[in-house]
Amino acid sequence: MPDRDILDLEHFLPYRLSVLSNRISQDIARLYADRFGLGITEWRVLAVLGRHSEVSAREVAERTAMDKVAVSRAIASLQAAGRIERDTHGHDRRRSCLRLSPGGRAIYDEVAPLALAYQRRLLEGLAEDERAALDRLLGRLETLELATRPG
């Protein structure tokens, strides 16, 4: 049998990052899922709008690296629940801008501190230099990933 590359999934960086991200996202989801009926995608949309008001659905999808269809569904759900508002952008009626409604802002203002507290608890197991190194390495990996994208 010829030599071939074998993928050791448990040590494959994209897999490890994905599993860790999923576990953390699911832990944080417990903070808002039962109380507010939000899924991970809906919360991420709210989180983007809490940080960056007046953005388009396309910009939300880009900032979260989520599928445009999933973002569109989350936006429709949040809008139907009165948690976000949509307006056309100035003179360009083809582009709509999203923002949190007062109800959406109230949810964001309640959940964001809980999410930040979760992050603090997670990172408190690392020394200050390890946290700084992690931040630098994640930034570097993001840069490298962008540079290796096709096209």
pLDDT single digits (tens) 10-61: 999 999 999 999 999 999 999 899 889 999 999 999 999 999 978 999 999 9
Q: Which residue has the tokens 């508002």?
A: 85
**Residue 110 tokens, joined:** 């309640």
C-alpha to C-alpha distance for 134 and 143, rounded to whole angstroms: 14
What is the model's pTM? 0.85
Whole-angstrom Cα distance, residue 7 to residue 33?
A: 35
Phi and psi angles of residue 39, each rounded to the nearest 5 degrees, phi first: -90, 175
Contact 137, 118 (CB under 8 A): no
Per-residue pLDDT tens for 76-104? 999 999 999 998 766 666 678 999 999 99
Distances (CA, A) of 68 to 42, 57, 106, 124: 13, 8, 26, 34
How far is Cα of residue 16 from the mean position of the Cα atoms in its chain?
A: 17
Q: What is the C-alpha separation between 35 and 32, in angstroms, rounded?
A: 5
